[in-house]
Chain A
Amino acid sequence: MSAVLQLDTVTRIHGAGATEVMALREVSFSAYAGELVAVMGPSGSGKSTLLTLAGGLDGPTSGAVRVEGTDLAALGQKGRAAMRRTSIGYVFQDFNLIPALTAVENVALPRELDGAGSRTARKVALAALEEVGIGELAGRFPDEMSGGQQQRVAIARAIVGERRLILADEPTGALDSETGEDILRLIRARCDAGAAGVLVTHEARHAAWADRVVFLRDGVIVDESGRDRPDALLEQAR
């Protein structure tokens, strides 16, 4: 079983000379299908950098980022954009929904941009909204929904079209604790159904939903808690 996401000795340096900041330092990290991995660390530890690299929104200074075996750097700008539409789902703290589009249109957008017919895109978008429990809100605009509902739309957008890598950056940051827990249940369910998930958070209670918790300090993984995946162990043994 291969990793859905693999960071191979990744270093990311921002700036140069005196203002040079090493955000990540030779980090190796994998997320496997069916697994949710949480990344914890204080601000400035490199956790957001890790996520933007994993999502192909930024490139490493050295090392490689592979999604389903494909090196993102080798894909080029266009290829990475296509990869983001089809394989990678991103969930942000502030939802990032387009205000002028309804819930179902927000979710359908990545599929349409990818060339799916609008009827097909709408159909899969509705299915994704059903999956996150808000099928009946499909026609609402973001400002007609609560924060928790908007985040559900964002999750539907992240999972639409069977994407296998879910990246979540403090997805519960703007929500109360009960609603935040519902959101984690959804991400967890998607991983249990076969996706790989990476959750960046500074809240231990939320990180605890993950199979593994990785601790980042000054751009380095200093520790990890949780159970090793059996297939990860097998790979090491090979």
Chain B
Amino acid sequence: MTARTLSVGLDARVALAYPVWPAVYIPGIHGHGGVDHGVDDGEESPVSVRNALLALLEQGPRYGYQLRAEFEDRTGGTWPLNVGQVYTTLSRLERDGLVEGQGADADGHVVYVVTASGREEVAAWFGSPVPRTRPPREELAIKLALAVSVPGVEVGAVIQQQRSATMAALQDYTRLKRRAAGDDPHELAWGLVLDSLVFNAEAEIRWLDHCEARLRRAAHDRGASSVDRAGQAGQAEQVDPQEATR
């Protein structure tokens, strides 16, 4: 059982996790302006990656490839790192006095160790909440805000299309969950990351359900008070823009 779970391993996780990305917006994955922007451009590492690498180094000296492998193992390859980004992050950490390079080992890998202030940084990270600097899922919220206030958009169709896509992503995550049921710390870590994706997708669907219910009620109230209801009772698509934004 354990062997089979392990043999599925990272590749299968990544292969299964990747195709669903476009279906659902997760802050930090898409770089749509979430807190974790800059993952792909190597410009500035997100705080989460920087602190995760520091926390791994606190377990003992490691070099870049090891850090990348361990990060992805714990997060199931959900947020892949490239090695260049790992080394950029390490040199910034070194500049800031949080890690020290120990010179190359026999194979030419530069091994890093955490400093005392690096340990303090890790402790401070675990000891404080992640700031909620921006509301998540903003592209979708903006799209819906525009959909209800711009004439001629079928809001009901916009909602259903998103719900269907997010549900498909949720089904994929759940399929992954069915395999990753192990109890060792790394399986558990990956399982919790998956749960986070599951709860995010669920929250989005609940919010979409809520939007739909509110729009239907608005349409219904309008229909009931209107002389010309044009046979649109219960249709969310025909909400008056002014009405819906109130």
Contacts and interface: CB of A to CB of B under 8 A. Distances in A.
A218 interface: yes
A226 B178 contact: no
Contacts of B199: 205
Interface in A192-228: 202-205, 207-211, 213, 215, 218, 222-226
B202 A205 contact: yes
Contacts of B170: 204-205, 207-208
B168 A42 contact: no
B205 A223 contact: no
A225 B234 CA distance: 23
A188 interface: yes
Interface string B217-246: 000000000000000001000000000000
Interface of B: 160, 163-168, 170-171, 173-174, 178, 198-199, 201-202, 205-206, 209, 212-213, 234
A171 to B, nearest CB: 16
B14 to A, nearest CB: 20
Contacts of B167: 204, 207-208, 213, 225-226
Contacts of A208: 167, 170-171, 173-174, 198, 201-202
8 contacts: A185-B178, A204-B167, A205-B170, A208-B173, A209-B174, A213-B171, A224-B164, A226-B171
Contacts of B209: 42, 202
Contacts of A226: 167-168, 171
Contacts of A213: 167, 171
A39 to B, nearest CB: 12
Nearest to B208: A204
A204 B202 CA distance: 6
A37 B173 CA distance: 17
A221 to B, nearest CB: 12
Given A207-B170, A211-B171, 15 more contacts: A42-B213, A204-B202, A204-B205, A205-B170, A207-B167, A208-B201, A210-B171, A213-B171, A215-B164, A218-B234, A223-B160, A223-B163, A225-B164, A226-B168, A226-B171
A219 to B, nearest CB: 11
Contact of B160 (A188, A202, A205, A215): A215
A209 to B, nearest CB: 6
Given A204-B201, A205-B170, A208-B173, A222 B160 contact: yes
Contact of B206 (A204, A211, A222): A204
Contacts of A218: 234
B148 to A, nearest CB: 18
Contacts of B166: 204
Contacts of A202: 209
Contacts of A185: 178
A222 B167 CA distance: 14
Contacts of B163: 215, 223
A202 B210 CA distance: 12
